[in-house]
Amino acid sequence: MRYTVVMDTVRIAMRIYGLVQGVNFRSSTCREAERLGVVGLVRNEPDGSVRIEAEGSREAVEELLAFAEHGPSHARVDRTERELVPVLREHSFRILR
């Protein structure tokens, strides 16, 4: 019997709270997303948090969001929030201002 594995695309939005701005969080996240083949965006929010929207295979997106749960070495992540959002079929990962 043969089985076919279908890679479903997901998009998950995550807000990261703590000391996450001014510590290379966005650039580190972008590099990790590109390494994993994840598309989407990362941006600073006015309240001091960072928002990530990550789209790709569930496994790759989960790996990126696991990275975001601790962030780069100078970051301090206090808490995160996640939600599934509609897939947009983007072609790259972008850093927004």
Residues with a catalytic annotation lie at 26, 44
| Residue 46 neighbours by CB distance under 10 Å | 5
Residue 67's DSSP bridge partners are none
Ramachandran area for residue 65 (φ above 0: left; ψ -120 to 50: alpha; else beta): alpha
